[in-house]
Structure formats: C-alpha cells, structure tokens
C-alpha cells in the first residue's frame, strides 16, 4: 500500500518535458528573441501557432512552450515538433499568467515575445522587430508593439496616455508585444491573483510605475494575427470590469478617475453588466 501511495504521489508531482535543451540539440545560448507559447487543451489551433513560429524568416530565436497539463491531443502536437522547440513542459499550473511567468523565467533572449496558442505570427514578424531593435539608438527603449491583424481590422500604435482610462493604448499582448528581458526583470512577474487582466496590471506597472519607454511599428508592419474568441472573450463582462477597477485601485490610480470610469462604463455597458 505504501509503495502504491508513493507511486501516486510521484505521478502527481511529475512533469513531462522536452525540447533541444534536454536532447542535446543545437542550442543558441544568446538568442535575440525568446518566444513563449502557453497552451491548455487547444489541439484545434496549436499546430498552426507552432508552425508560424518555427517557420520565421528570422531564425535567431528560441522557442518555449508551457502546457498546463492538457488532456487532449495538445501534447502529441508538441512532441511532433520536439526537435524545433528549445524547451517545452507539460504540468498543472495556476492559469495562463502563471504559465507566462514560467516561460519568462526560462527565457534567455534579449527580447521576450508572446504568441498565444490561438494566434499566429506572420512569417516576417521577428524580422520586422529585429530591424527596429538594430535601429534603436536610444538604449532606454524597453519594449516594442508590432501591429496586429484582428478580425475587424488592424490594431496598431502605442498611446501610453490612454492607459489611465482605456485599454486602447497598445496593439496586442499576443503576437504584438516584445519586451526587453532586462526590463522584464525590473517589472517582475505577472500577478496571478488577477485571473483575467493580469496583463493590464503588468502594463500599468511597466508604463506608469516603472516609467519604461516603448515604441511601435508602422501600421503596415504587421507582426501577427489575433484570432477572435481568445481567453478573455470567454469571461463574463462583469467579472472583467470589476477586476479592471480593482487593478486600477491597487496601483494607486485616482479614486475620482476610477469612479468616473465606473459610472461611464456602467452606463455604456449596462446590459452586459446586468445580464452577463
């Protein structure tokens, strides 16, 4: 009986992992980019995402996949590309932002990029961002936002002043965001106490508290495709809205401004708040 219990405990604690780092493959010890994909039970789109990364024209990058212990064919797909992935791991986690934190802690590249398992890079995405990095004369630039295609149009630009009252200050967290790894260390990890909007909290700390500087590509320099129906779209509006307000409050935003935002959005989205 004791042996059986020990075996069960081992299975619960064990993880499945692979990639070039473990298999003595060709390893780039100082890549320009670390690209991270987090996934959980997404056999439908994951392979398309992986192909969009490994087939990049610009190849000076490492690729890391963090799987939350999928029970569908996700793991089979990852293993299919084992020789083209630098490191992957499959284990239970505390959600998407916990997975982001794991990926960032494993990154070795100068810049970190995130492409979610619903989304895809265009084949010249890293080439576009690499050209911007090479042109940077101001070493204080901490991050770059690439333009991103969404189902209804193009998300582009970087407008930091809008962070105080709106989401529309950047293009996209997935396929469009590239952060200097040394800057990421100064910001810290995603706060996993926020289930839905930890990326907003991260950007608030990055832009407002740490006063980091960023830039963006031109509108026609598109780095990726953001698929409709991602993680946050599946969450009830009321929950998203209340967590956004909590993040604003916890980061010291003006109470008066928070009240104004609450009243404005409550009126604008009355039906969503009441019935979602």
> What are 85-104's pLDDT values in tens digits?
999 999 999 999 999 999 99
Average pLDDT over residues 56-85: 96
Instruction: Show contacts of 256-259: CB within 8 Å, 24+ apart.
Output: 257/164, 257/165
Instruction: Measure CA of the first residue to CA of the last residue in the chain; give whole Å.
Output: 49
Look up tokens 């996993």; give the residue: 192
CATH 3.90.550.10-classified regions of the chain: 2-235
User: How many Å separate Cα 221 from the centre of its chain?
Assistant: 20
pTM of the predicted model as reported, rounded to 2 decimal places: 0.88
Task: Quote the mean pLDDT of the chain.
Answer: 88
Burial of 71 (0-12, 13-18, 19+ CB in 10 A): exposed
Residues whose CB is less than 8 angstroms from the CB of residue 190 and which lie 6 or more positions away in sequence, other chains included: 97, 98, 100, 101, 198, 199, 201, 202
Cα dist. 46→92, 97, 137, 178 in Å?
18, 18, 37, 21
Q: pLDDT for 177-236, tens place per residue?
A: 999 999 999 999 999 999 999 999 999 999 999 999 999 999 999 999 998 755 555 567
The predicted-structure confidence for 158-174, as pLDDT tens digits, reads as follows 999 999 988 789 999 99
Domain 2-235 bears CATH identifier 3.40.50.300: no
């Amino acid at each position: 009986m004791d042996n059986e219990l020990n075996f069960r405990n081992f299975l619960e604690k064990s993880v499945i992992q692979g990639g070039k780092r473990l298999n003595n493959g060709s390893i780039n010890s100082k890549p320009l980019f670390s690209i991270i994909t987090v996934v959980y039970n997404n056999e439908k789109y994951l392979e398309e995402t992986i192909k969009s990364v490994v087939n990049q024209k610009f190849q000076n990058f490492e690729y890391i996949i963090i799987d939350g212990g999928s029970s569908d064919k996700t793991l089979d797909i990852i293993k299919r590309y084992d020789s083209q992935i630098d490191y992957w791991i499959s284990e239970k986690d505390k959600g998407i932002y916990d997975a982001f934190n794991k990926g960032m802690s494993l990154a070795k590249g100068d810049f970190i990029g995130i492409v979610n398992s619903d989304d895809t890079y265009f084949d010249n995405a890293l080439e576009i961002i690499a050209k911007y990095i090479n042109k940077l004369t101001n070493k204080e630039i901490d991050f770059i936002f690439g333009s991103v295609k969404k189902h209804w149009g193009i998300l582009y630009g970087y407008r930091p002043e809008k962070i105080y009252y709106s989401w529309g200050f950047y293009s996209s967290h997935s396929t469009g965001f590239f952060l200097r790894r040394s800057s990421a260390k100064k910001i810290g990890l995603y706060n996993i106490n926020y289930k839905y909007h930890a990326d907003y909290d991260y950007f608030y700390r990055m832009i407002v508290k740490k006063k980091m500087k960023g830039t963006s590509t031109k509108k026609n320099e598109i780095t990726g495709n953001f698929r409709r129906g991602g993680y946050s779209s599946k969450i009830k509006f009321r929950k998203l809205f209340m967590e956004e307000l909590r993040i604003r409050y916890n980061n010291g935003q003006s109470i008066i401004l928070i009240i104004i935002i609450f009243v404005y959005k409550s009126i604008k989205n009355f039906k969503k708040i009441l019935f979602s």
